Amino acid sequence: MILLTGGAGYIGSHVCMALLDAGLDVVAVDNLSNSNKASLERVQSICGRSLVFRHADIRDEAAIYDILRCCGVTAVIHLAGLKAVGDSNVQPITYYENNVLGTMRLVSAMTKAKVKTLVFSSSATVYGIPTYLPLDEKHPLGPTNPYGRTKLFIEEMLKDLHRSDDEWRIGILRYFNPVGAHESGLVGEDPLGVPNNLLPFVAQVAIGRRDKLTIWGNDYDTPDGTGIRDFIHVVDLASGHLSALRHLKEPGLLTVNLGTGAGSSVLDVVRTFEAVSGRPIPYAIGERRAGDVAICYADPTLAERVLGWKSTRSLAQMCSDHWCWQSKNPDGYRGAEHPERSSDF
Ligand code: NAD
Ligand code: UD1
Protein backbone atom coordinates (compact mmCIF):
# COMPACT_ATOMS: atom_id res chain seq x y z
CA MET A 1 0.00 0.00 0.00
CA ILE A 2 1.39 3.40 -1.02
CA LEU A 3 0.55 6.55 0.95
CA LEU A 4 0.19 9.50 -1.41
CA THR A 5 0.15 12.87 0.35
CA GLY A 6 -1.45 15.71 -1.62
CA GLY A 7 -3.21 12.97 -3.60
CA ALA A 8 -6.25 15.07 -4.56
CA GLY A 9 -4.11 17.80 -6.15
CA TYR A 10 -3.07 18.33 -9.76
CA ILE A 11 0.03 16.14 -9.82
CA GLY A 12 -1.24 13.84 -7.04
CA SER A 13 -4.32 12.77 -8.98
CA HIS A 14 -2.13 11.82 -11.96
CA VAL A 15 0.39 9.96 -9.77
CA CYS A 16 -2.54 8.13 -8.23
CA MET A 17 -3.62 6.91 -11.67
CA ALA A 18 -0.09 5.75 -12.49
CA LEU A 19 0.02 3.74 -9.25
CA LEU A 20 -3.44 2.20 -9.66
CA ASP A 21 -2.73 1.35 -13.30
CA ALA A 22 0.45 -0.42 -12.17
CA GLY A 23 -1.63 -2.58 -9.82
CA LEU A 24 -0.52 -0.86 -6.61
CA ASP A 25 -2.91 0.01 -3.79
CA VAL A 26 -3.16 3.64 -2.74
CA VAL A 27 -4.24 5.57 0.32
CA ALA A 28 -4.46 9.26 -0.62
CA VAL A 29 -4.21 11.84 2.14
CA ASP A 30 -5.17 15.46 1.55
CA ASN A 31 -6.48 18.36 3.63
CA LEU A 32 -8.25 19.69 0.49
CA SER A 33 -6.79 23.17 1.07
CA ASN A 34 -6.09 23.50 -2.67
CA SER A 35 -8.09 20.66 -4.21
CA ASN A 36 -11.37 18.86 -4.51
CA LYS A 37 -11.88 15.19 -3.82
CA ALA A 38 -13.91 14.94 -7.04
CA SER A 39 -10.48 14.47 -8.68
CA LEU A 40 -10.02 11.18 -6.83
CA GLU A 41 -13.60 10.09 -7.49
CA ARG A 42 -12.82 10.51 -11.20
CA VAL A 43 -9.47 8.72 -10.83
CA GLN A 44 -11.35 5.70 -9.51
CA SER A 45 -13.76 5.65 -12.43
CA ILE A 46 -10.99 6.10 -15.04
CA CYS A 47 -8.86 3.32 -13.54
CA GLY A 48 -11.77 1.06 -12.65
CA ARG A 49 -10.20 0.51 -9.25
CA SER A 50 -10.89 1.92 -5.83
CA LEU A 51 -8.50 3.75 -3.57
CA VAL A 52 -8.66 4.83 0.04
CA PHE A 53 -9.07 8.55 0.74
CA ARG A 54 -8.35 10.10 4.15
CA HIS A 55 -9.14 13.77 4.73
CA ALA A 56 -6.17 14.62 6.95
CA ASP A 57 -3.33 17.09 7.38
CA ILE A 58 0.30 15.94 7.16
CA ARG A 59 1.05 18.11 10.20
CA ASP A 60 -1.20 15.81 12.27
CA GLU A 61 1.46 13.25 13.15
CA ALA A 62 -0.89 11.00 15.13
CA ALA A 63 -3.38 10.83 12.25
CA ILE A 64 -0.61 10.02 9.75
CA TYR A 65 0.84 7.36 12.07
CA ASP A 66 -2.60 5.73 12.33
CA ILE A 67 -3.00 5.72 8.55
CA LEU A 68 0.48 4.23 8.07
CA ARG A 69 -0.25 1.42 10.53
CA CYS A 70 -3.89 0.72 9.76
CA CYS A 71 -3.47 0.68 5.98
CA GLY A 72 -0.24 -1.34 6.01
CA VAL A 73 1.72 1.33 4.13
CA THR A 74 5.14 0.30 2.77
CA ALA A 75 6.16 3.52 0.98
CA VAL A 76 5.17 7.19 0.86
CA ILE A 77 5.01 9.55 -2.11
CA HIS A 78 4.93 13.03 -0.62
CA LEU A 79 3.40 15.79 -2.73
CA ALA A 80 1.38 17.73 -0.14
CA GLY A 81 2.50 21.34 0.05
CA LEU A 82 1.76 24.94 -0.75
CA LYS A 83 3.24 26.03 -4.08
CA ALA A 84 2.43 29.64 -5.01
CA VAL A 85 5.67 31.61 -5.29
CA GLY A 86 4.07 35.09 -4.93
CA ASP A 87 2.00 33.99 -1.95
CA SER A 88 5.12 32.58 -0.28
CA ASN A 89 6.70 36.06 -0.38
CA VAL A 90 3.65 37.48 1.42
CA GLN A 91 3.23 34.72 4.03
CA PRO A 92 6.57 32.91 4.33
CA ILE A 93 5.90 31.43 7.76
CA THR A 94 2.74 29.74 6.49
CA TYR A 95 4.91 28.11 3.81
CA TYR A 96 7.60 26.99 6.26
CA GLU A 97 4.93 25.69 8.64
CA ASN A 98 3.01 23.77 6.02
CA ASN A 99 5.86 22.49 3.86
CA VAL A 100 8.84 22.10 6.22
CA LEU A 101 7.07 21.35 9.50
CA GLY A 102 4.54 19.20 7.63
CA THR A 103 7.36 17.09 6.17
CA MET A 104 9.04 16.82 9.60
CA ARG A 105 5.83 15.48 11.13
CA LEU A 106 5.28 13.10 8.21
CA VAL A 107 8.81 11.73 8.49
CA SER A 108 8.48 11.36 12.29
CA ALA A 109 5.31 9.33 11.82
CA MET A 110 7.09 7.22 9.18
CA THR A 111 10.04 6.62 11.52
CA LYS A 112 7.72 5.47 14.31
CA ALA A 113 5.81 3.21 11.92
CA LYS A 114 9.10 1.89 10.46
CA VAL A 115 8.18 2.95 6.94
CA LYS A 116 11.45 4.15 5.44
CA THR A 117 10.78 4.57 1.74
CA LEU A 118 9.96 8.12 0.59
CA VAL A 119 9.60 9.87 -2.76
CA PHE A 120 9.50 13.66 -2.40
CA SER A 121 8.35 16.31 -4.88
CA SER A 122 10.96 19.00 -5.10
CA SER A 123 11.22 21.60 -7.82
CA ALA A 124 13.64 23.02 -10.37
CA THR A 125 13.11 26.25 -8.44
CA VAL A 126 15.85 25.02 -6.02
CA TYR A 127 18.44 25.88 -8.70
CA GLY A 128 17.59 29.59 -8.67
CA ILE A 129 19.26 31.60 -11.42
CA PRO A 130 21.01 29.24 -13.88
CA THR A 131 24.76 29.71 -14.21
CA TYR A 132 24.86 27.16 -17.05
CA LEU A 133 22.37 25.17 -19.12
CA PRO A 134 20.98 22.59 -19.27
CA LEU A 135 20.51 22.31 -15.51
CA ASP A 136 21.97 19.05 -14.22
CA GLU A 137 21.68 17.84 -10.63
CA LYS A 138 25.18 19.18 -9.79
CA HIS A 139 24.19 22.77 -10.60
CA PRO A 140 24.59 25.04 -7.53
CA LEU A 141 21.42 25.57 -5.52
CA GLY A 142 20.05 29.00 -4.61
CA PRO A 143 16.29 29.46 -4.66
CA THR A 144 15.17 33.07 -4.85
CA ASN A 145 11.88 32.89 -2.91
CA PRO A 146 10.49 31.34 0.32
CA TYR A 147 8.61 28.59 -1.56
CA GLY A 148 11.84 27.47 -3.21
CA ARG A 149 13.68 27.62 0.10
CA THR A 150 11.12 25.30 1.73
CA LYS A 151 11.95 22.76 -1.00
CA LEU A 152 15.69 23.20 -0.50
CA PHE A 153 15.44 22.90 3.31
CA ILE A 154 13.36 19.74 2.97
CA GLU A 155 15.93 18.28 0.57
CA GLU A 156 18.71 19.02 3.10
CA MET A 157 16.65 17.57 5.95
CA LEU A 158 16.07 14.35 4.01
CA LYS A 159 19.80 14.07 3.25
CA ASP A 160 20.56 14.43 6.99
CA LEU A 161 17.95 11.80 7.76
CA HIS A 162 19.57 9.41 5.31
CA ARG A 163 23.05 10.11 6.76
CA SER A 164 21.71 9.31 10.23
CA ASP A 165 20.09 6.02 9.21
CA ASP A 166 21.10 4.37 5.98
CA GLU A 167 18.08 2.08 5.94
CA TRP A 168 16.15 4.97 4.41
CA ARG A 169 15.34 4.84 0.70
CA ILE A 170 14.72 8.38 -0.52
CA GLY A 171 14.00 9.75 -3.97
CA ILE A 172 14.06 13.53 -4.42
CA LEU A 173 12.39 14.48 -7.70
CA ARG A 174 13.01 17.97 -9.07
CA TYR A 175 10.11 18.74 -11.37
CA PHE A 176 10.47 21.26 -14.16
CA ASN A 177 7.17 22.79 -15.48
CA PRO A 178 4.32 20.25 -15.26
CA VAL A 179 1.44 20.95 -17.68
CA GLY A 180 -1.28 19.07 -19.54
CA ALA A 181 -3.87 16.67 -18.21
CA HIS A 182 -4.97 13.05 -18.42
CA GLU A 183 -6.01 12.15 -21.98
CA SER A 184 -9.61 11.50 -20.84
CA GLY A 185 -10.03 15.21 -20.07
CA LEU A 186 -11.63 14.21 -16.76
CA VAL A 187 -8.70 15.05 -14.48
CA GLY A 188 -6.52 18.14 -14.74
CA GLU A 189 -5.26 21.32 -13.11
CA ASP A 190 -7.90 23.42 -11.35
CA PRO A 191 -6.25 26.54 -9.92
CA LEU A 192 -8.14 28.71 -7.44
CA GLY A 193 -8.51 32.35 -8.49
CA VAL A 194 -6.31 33.94 -11.14
CA PRO A 195 -3.74 31.40 -12.39
CA ASN A 196 -0.08 32.35 -11.84
CA ASN A 197 1.28 29.80 -14.26
CA LEU A 198 1.29 30.05 -18.02
CA LEU A 199 -0.71 27.05 -19.25
CA PRO A 200 -3.73 27.46 -16.96
CA PHE A 201 -3.87 31.16 -17.88
CA VAL A 202 -3.67 30.44 -21.61
CA ALA A 203 -6.38 27.77 -21.27
CA GLN A 204 -8.69 30.19 -19.46
CA VAL A 205 -8.17 32.78 -22.21
CA ALA A 206 -9.01 30.13 -24.82
CA ILE A 207 -12.25 29.19 -23.04
CA GLY A 208 -13.23 32.86 -22.63
CA ARG A 209 -12.85 33.16 -18.85
CA ARG A 210 -10.12 35.81 -19.33
CA ASP A 211 -9.80 38.47 -22.05
CA LYS A 212 -6.12 38.18 -22.80
CA LEU A 213 -2.79 36.84 -21.68
CA THR A 214 -0.08 39.19 -20.48
CA ILE A 215 3.33 37.96 -21.62
CA TRP A 216 5.79 38.96 -18.92
CA GLY A 217 8.55 40.45 -21.08
CA ASN A 218 9.65 39.99 -24.72
CA ASP A 219 13.13 41.45 -24.33
CA TYR A 220 14.92 38.39 -22.96
CA ASP A 221 18.01 37.09 -24.71
CA THR A 222 16.07 34.28 -26.41
CA PRO A 223 15.19 33.76 -30.11
CA ASP A 224 11.75 35.40 -29.82
CA GLY A 225 12.47 37.50 -26.72
CA THR A 226 10.08 35.57 -24.41
CA GLY A 227 11.06 33.25 -21.55
CA ILE A 228 11.94 29.62 -22.22
CA ARG A 229 10.89 26.74 -19.95
CA ASP A 230 11.01 22.95 -19.89
CA PHE A 231 7.32 22.03 -19.99
CA ILE A 232 6.66 18.40 -19.12
CA HIS A 233 3.41 16.47 -19.56
CA VAL A 234 1.95 15.65 -16.14
CA VAL A 235 1.32 12.03 -17.22
CA ASP A 236 5.04 11.63 -18.06
CA LEU A 237 5.89 13.25 -14.73
CA ALA A 238 3.56 10.87 -12.91
CA SER A 239 5.21 7.82 -14.46
CA GLY A 240 8.55 9.13 -13.15
CA HIS A 241 7.25 8.53 -9.62
CA LEU A 242 6.60 4.90 -10.39
CA SER A 243 10.12 4.56 -11.81
CA ALA A 244 11.54 6.20 -8.66
CA LEU A 245 9.57 3.85 -6.43
CA ARG A 246 10.86 0.82 -8.34
CA HIS A 247 14.42 2.15 -8.06
CA LEU A 248 14.09 2.47 -4.26
CA LYS A 249 14.07 -1.30 -3.73
CA GLU A 250 17.57 -0.80 -2.29
CA PRO A 251 18.51 1.69 0.47
CA GLY A 252 19.98 4.95 -0.78
CA LEU A 253 19.22 8.54 -1.67
CA LEU A 254 18.75 9.73 -5.22
CA THR A 255 18.16 13.31 -6.37
CA VAL A 256 16.99 13.55 -9.95
CA ASN A 257 15.54 16.03 -12.45
CA LEU A 258 12.22 15.23 -14.12
CA GLY A 259 12.13 17.32 -17.28
CA THR A 260 12.19 16.79 -21.04
CA GLY A 261 15.52 18.45 -21.78
CA ALA A 262 13.86 20.75 -24.34
CA GLY A 263 12.92 24.38 -23.88
CA SER A 264 9.84 26.10 -25.35
CA SER A 265 9.21 29.82 -25.31
CA VAL A 266 6.06 31.53 -24.08
CA LEU A 267 5.22 32.38 -27.69
CA ASP A 268 5.78 28.73 -28.74
CA VAL A 269 3.18 27.77 -26.14
CA VAL A 270 0.71 30.43 -27.30
CA ARG A 271 1.03 29.38 -30.97
CA THR A 272 0.80 25.67 -30.19
CA PHE A 273 -2.24 26.19 -27.96
CA GLU A 274 -3.96 28.22 -30.69
CA ALA A 275 -3.26 25.48 -33.23
CA VAL A 276 -4.60 22.59 -31.13
CA SER A 277 -7.61 24.44 -29.71
CA GLY A 278 -8.58 26.40 -32.83
CA ARG A 279 -9.12 29.38 -30.52
CA PRO A 280 -7.26 32.70 -30.69
CA ILE A 281 -5.14 33.63 -27.66
CA PRO A 282 -5.03 37.45 -27.59
CA TYR A 283 -2.03 38.72 -25.68
CA ALA A 284 -0.30 41.91 -24.61
CA ILE A 285 3.35 42.36 -23.72
CA GLY A 286 3.93 43.41 -20.10
CA GLU A 287 6.96 44.14 -17.95
CA ARG A 288 9.21 41.27 -16.88
CA ARG A 289 7.85 39.44 -13.81
CA ALA A 290 10.08 39.83 -10.74
CA GLY A 291 12.07 36.66 -10.08
CA ASP A 292 11.70 35.22 -13.61
CA VAL A 293 14.73 33.85 -15.42
CA ALA A 294 15.19 33.98 -19.19
CA ILE A 295 15.82 30.28 -19.82
CA CYS A 296 15.42 27.16 -17.69
CA TYR A 297 15.53 23.58 -18.91
CA ALA A 298 16.69 20.25 -17.56
CA ASP A 299 19.43 17.84 -18.30
CA PRO A 300 17.31 14.70 -17.85
CA THR A 301 20.06 12.14 -18.57
CA LEU A 302 20.42 10.98 -14.94
CA ALA A 303 16.73 10.02 -14.80
CA GLU A 304 17.10 8.07 -18.02
CA ARG A 305 20.31 6.35 -16.93
CA VAL A 306 19.35 5.50 -13.35
CA LEU A 307 15.57 5.22 -13.46
CA GLY A 308 15.14 4.16 -17.08
CA TRP A 309 12.60 6.98 -17.32
CA LYS A 310 12.16 9.44 -20.16
CA SER A 311 9.37 11.84 -21.09
CA THR A 312 7.64 11.00 -24.37
CA ARG A 313 4.85 13.55 -24.92
CA SER A 314 5.26 16.61 -27.17
CA LEU A 315 4.33 20.22 -26.47
CA ALA A 316 1.37 19.79 -28.88
CA GLN A 317 0.16 16.82 -26.81
CA MET A 318 0.55 18.83 -23.59
CA CYS A 319 -1.50 21.72 -25.01
CA SER A 320 -4.11 19.48 -26.58
CA ASP A 321 -4.66 17.47 -23.37
CA HIS A 322 -4.75 20.69 -21.32
CA TRP A 323 -7.36 22.07 -23.73
CA CYS A 324 -9.42 18.87 -23.61
CA TRP A 325 -9.59 19.14 -19.80
CA GLN A 326 -10.35 22.89 -19.86
CA SER A 327 -13.04 22.63 -22.52
CA LYS A 328 -14.78 19.68 -20.83
CA ASN A 329 -14.55 21.37 -17.41
CA PRO A 330 -14.76 25.13 -17.91
CA ASP A 331 -15.19 25.63 -14.15
CA GLY A 332 -12.79 22.90 -13.09
CA TYR A 333 -14.16 20.53 -10.45
CA ARG A 334 -16.58 23.05 -8.97
CA GLY A 335 -19.92 21.37 -8.38
CA ALA A 336 -18.56 17.98 -9.45
CA GLU A 337 -17.84 16.45 -6.07
CA HIS A 338 -19.98 14.14 -4.04
CA PRO A 339 -22.02 16.30 -1.60
CA GLU A 340 -20.17 15.15 1.55
CA ARG A 341 -17.07 17.10 0.61
CA SER A 342 -14.71 16.16 3.37
CA SER A 343 -15.81 12.59 4.05
CA ASP A 344 -13.39 9.70 3.60
CA PHE A 345 -13.89 6.83 1.21
P1 NAD B 1 -1.64 21.10 -5.75
O2 NAD B 1 -1.87 22.29 -4.90
O3 NAD B 1 -2.63 20.80 -6.83
O4 NAD B 1 -1.47 19.80 -4.84
C5 NAD B 1 -0.97 19.83 -3.53
C6 NAD B 1 -1.97 19.13 -2.65
O7 NAD B 1 -1.49 19.12 -1.30
C8 NAD B 1 -3.34 19.84 -2.64
O9 NAD B 1 -4.34 18.89 -2.92
C10 NAD B 1 -3.46 20.38 -1.21
O11 NAD B 1 -4.81 20.41 -0.78
C12 NAD B 1 -2.60 19.39 -0.44
N13 NAD B 1 -2.03 19.91 0.80
C14 NAD B 1 -1.35 21.07 0.99
N15 NAD B 1 -0.95 21.17 2.27
C16 NAD B 1 -1.36 20.04 2.90
C17 NAD B 1 -1.25 19.56 4.23
N18 NAD B 1 -0.63 20.28 5.17
N19 NAD B 1 -1.78 18.35 4.53
C20 NAD B 1 -2.42 17.62 3.59
N21 NAD B 1 -2.58 18.03 2.32
C22 NAD B 1 -2.04 19.23 1.97
O23 NAD B 1 -0.16 21.23 -6.37
P24 NAD B 1 0.57 20.32 -7.43
O25 NAD B 1 0.85 21.16 -8.60
O26 NAD B 1 -0.12 19.04 -7.60
O27 NAD B 1 1.95 20.11 -6.67
C28 NAD B 1 2.24 18.94 -5.93
C29 NAD B 1 3.64 19.07 -5.35
O30 NAD B 1 4.58 19.25 -6.40
C31 NAD B 1 3.81 20.26 -4.41
O32 NAD B 1 4.62 19.87 -3.33
C33 NAD B 1 4.52 21.28 -5.28
O34 NAD B 1 5.29 22.16 -4.52
C35 NAD B 1 5.38 20.39 -6.15
N36 NAD B 1 5.73 21.03 -7.42
C37 NAD B 1 4.74 21.46 -8.25
C38 NAD B 1 5.07 22.10 -9.44
C39 NAD B 1 4.00 22.61 -10.37
O40 NAD B 1 4.32 23.38 -11.27
N41 NAD B 1 2.75 22.23 -10.23
C42 NAD B 1 6.42 22.26 -9.79
C43 NAD B 1 7.41 21.77 -8.93
C44 NAD B 1 7.04 21.15 -7.74
C1 UD1 C 1 6.87 29.20 -11.58
C2 UD1 C 1 7.63 29.53 -10.34
C3 UD1 C 1 8.39 28.29 -9.91
C4 UD1 C 1 7.44 27.12 -9.71
C5 UD1 C 1 6.65 26.91 -11.00
C6 UD1 C 1 5.62 25.84 -10.86
C7 UD1 C 1 8.13 31.95 -10.37
C8 UD1 C 1 9.17 32.97 -10.52
N9 UD1 C 1 8.53 30.65 -10.56
O10 UD1 C 1 7.80 28.80 -12.57
O11 UD1 C 1 9.08 28.54 -8.70
O12 UD1 C 1 8.15 25.93 -9.40
O13 UD1 C 1 6.00 28.13 -11.36
O14 UD1 C 1 4.62 26.23 -9.97
O15 UD1 C 1 6.98 32.25 -10.10
N16 UD1 C 1 4.19 33.79 -18.11
C17 UD1 C 1 3.62 34.82 -18.79
N18 UD1 C 1 2.34 35.20 -18.46
C19 UD1 C 1 1.63 34.57 -17.48
C20 UD1 C 1 2.23 33.49 -16.78
C21 UD1 C 1 3.52 33.13 -17.11
O22 UD1 C 1 4.22 35.41 -19.68
O23 UD1 C 1 0.47 34.96 -17.20
C24 UD1 C 1 5.56 33.36 -18.47
C25 UD1 C 1 6.57 33.56 -17.35
O26 UD1 C 1 7.10 34.87 -17.37
C27 UD1 C 1 7.60 32.47 -17.70
C28 UD1 C 1 6.76 31.36 -18.35
O29 UD1 C 1 5.54 31.98 -18.76
O30 UD1 C 1 8.51 32.94 -18.65
C31 UD1 C 1 6.42 30.22 -17.40
O32 UD1 C 1 5.83 30.77 -16.22
P33 UD1 C 1 5.16 29.87 -15.09
O34 UD1 C 1 4.19 28.93 -15.71
O35 UD1 C 1 4.66 30.77 -14.01
O36 UD1 C 1 6.35 28.96 -14.56
P37 UD1 C 1 7.79 29.40 -13.97
O38 UD1 C 1 7.93 30.86 -13.89
O39 UD1 C 1 8.81 28.67 -14.77
Segment 216-250, tens digit of pLDDT: 999 999 999 999 999 999 999 999 999 999 999 98
Instruction: Select which of 10, 65, 95, 147 is catalytic.
Output: 147
Q: What is the DSSP code (8-state) at residue 295?
A: B
Closest-lying ligand 2 atom to the alpha carbon of residue 213: 23
Predicted local distance difference test score (pLDDT) of residue 291 = 85
Q: Any catalytic annotation for residue 96?
A: no
Cα of 289 to ligand 2 centre, how many Å? 9
Ligand 1 binding pocket includes 11 (Cβ within 6 Å): yes
- What Rg value do the Cα atoms of the chain yield, rounded? 19
Predicted local distance difference test score (pLDDT) of residue 341 = 53
Using CA atoms of 79, 82, 85, 89 in order, give the dihedral in degrees to the nearest 10.
Answer: -140
* pLDDT value at 342 more than 80: no
Cα of 147 to ligand 1 centre, how many Å? 12
Q: Residue 344's pLDDT band (boundaries 50, 70, 90)?
A: confident
* pLDDT, tens digit (0-9, with 9 covering 90-100), for 38-58: 999 999 999 999 999 999 999
Ligand 1 binding pocket includes 57 (Cβ within 6 Å): yes
pTM of the model: 0.97
* pLDDT value at 340 more than 60: no
Q: Which residue owns the Cα nearest ligand 1 atom 27?
A: 11
**Is residue 270 within 8 Å of 213, Cβ to Cβ?**
yes
* pLDDT, tens digit (0-9, with 9 covering 90-100), for 128-178: 999 999 999 999 999 999 999 999 999 999 999 999 999 999 999 999 999
* pLDDT value at 61 more than 60: yes
Cis amide leading into 134 (omega within 30): yes
Predicted local distance difference test score (pLDDT) of residue 338 = 61
Predicted local distance difference test score (pLDDT) of residue 192 = 85
Question: In this structure, which amino acid lies at residue 69?
Answer: R
Ligand whose nearest atom lies closest to the CA of 266: 2
Q: Which CATH architecture does the domain made up of 2-335 adopt?
A: 3-Layer(aba) Sandwich (3.40)
Closest-lying ligand 1 atom to the alpha carbon of residue 175: 43
**Is residue 48 within 8 Å of 27, Cβ to Cβ?**
no
Ligand 1 binding pocket includes 31 (Cβ within 6 Å): yes
Cα–Cα distances in angstroms (integers) from residue 141 to residues 148, 162, 163, 303, 328, in the given order: 10, 20, 20, 19, 40
Mean pLDDT of 13-19: 98
Q: What is the DSSP code (8-state) at residue 251?
A: S
Helix or strand (DSSP H, E) at 178: strand 177-179
Q: Which residue owns the Cα nearest ligand 2 atom 2?
A: 85
Cα of 197 to ligand 2 centre, how many Å? 5
**Is residue 303 within 8 Å of 310, Cβ to Cβ?**
yes
Cα of 80 to ligand 1 centre, how many Å? 5
Ligand whose nearest atom lies closest to the CA of 121: 1
* pLDDT value at 335 more than 80: no
Closest-lying ligand 2 atom to the alpha carbon of residue 215: 22
- Of 162 and 339, the one with more pLDDT: 162
Q: Which long-range contacts (CB under 8 A, 24 or more apart) does 34-37 make?
A: 34/9, 34/82, 34/83, 34/192, 35/6, 35/8, 35/9, 35/10, 35/190, 36/8, 36/190, 36/332, 36/333, 36/334, 36/336, 36/337, 36/341, 37/8, 37/337, 37/338, 37/341, 37/342, 37/345
Cα of 64 to ligand 1 centre, how many Å? 17
Closest-lying ligand 2 atom to the alpha carbon of residue 199: 34
